[in-house]
């Protein structure tokens, strides 16, 4: 499996998949929906899948002495690796905003979502939606990319809009806490986002394996 992942990292993807990891630093931007950083990371992954399709990567992978399930696993492992790298940048940005910049005027007057643990949970949810909608949809045919990505974009921006609006609902202002205020609630929301990511990704992976097994390449 290590060799399959190395193949994905070195041969199968576009450099944009790596470059777009840097959008994790969007958590520093005030007055901007920070969860768009997670979306742009997945946009880089989409570009990587386009590159792989044009290079006939799926057929090449299927010809290797590995099972079809391993081909799917390689794609999922690489996708999760890129998402994890982006999440680390988001975490670093959020921790700086929650400590060093917690009292900064530019963030205190920010009407948008704050970069806190709840925002990290929201980013995990966006990544989970990408894995279940786009990855799962891609492996229906192992070729068509447009339709699953458009559906994912709609779902992702609806989720981002809902999460951004949540702290404006009366009684829910605590989800937009500054620094380490309401830390217990923030931690629970982060863990909820992590659970959603894990569940969506695992369900998508199992479904993708079944679908890919039925495809006659």
pLDDT tens sequence across 33-91: 999 999 999 999 999 999 998 888 888 887 888 888 989 999 999 999 999 999 999 99
Please tell me what DSSP assigns to residue 22.
G
Count: domains in the chain: 1
pLDDT at 217: 63
What's the token pair of residue 1?
């499996």
What digits encode the pLDDT tens for the residues 150-182? 999 999 999 999 999 998 899 889 998 888 889
Domain span including residue 104: 2-214
3-state helix, strand, coil in the chain (%, to 5): 75, 0, 25
Q: How confident is the model at residue 213 (pLDDT cuts 50, 70, 90)?
A: confident
Distance (Å) of CA 22 to CA 84, 134, 189:
12, 21, 24
């Amino acid at each position: 499996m290590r060799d399959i992942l190395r193949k994905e990292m070195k041969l199968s993807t576009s450099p944009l998949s790596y470059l777009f990891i840097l959008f994790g630093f969007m958590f520093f931007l005030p007055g901007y929906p920070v969860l768009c950083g997670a979306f742009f990371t997945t946009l880089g992954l989409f570009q990587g899948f386009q590159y792989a399709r044009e290079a006939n990567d799926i057929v090449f992978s299927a010809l290797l002495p590995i099972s079809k399930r391993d081909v799917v696993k390689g794609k999922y492992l690489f996708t999760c690796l890129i998402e994890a790298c982006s999440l680390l940048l988001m975490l670093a940005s959020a921790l700086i905003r929650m400590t060093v910049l917690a009292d900064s005027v530019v963030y205190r007057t920010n009407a948008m979502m704050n970069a806190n643990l709840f925002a990290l949970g929201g980013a995990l949810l966006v990544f989970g939606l990408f894995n279940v909608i786009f990855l799962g949809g891609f492996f229906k045919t192992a070729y068509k990319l447009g339709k699953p990505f458009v559906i994912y974009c709609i779902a992702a921006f609806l989720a981002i809009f809902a999460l951004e609006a949540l702290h404006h609902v009366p009684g829910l202002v605590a989800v937009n806490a500054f620094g380490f205020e309401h830390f217990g609630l923030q931690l629970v929301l982060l863990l909820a986002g992590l659970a959603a990511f894990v569940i969506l990704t695992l369900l998508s992976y199992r479904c993708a394996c079944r679908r890919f097994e039925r495809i006659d390449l």
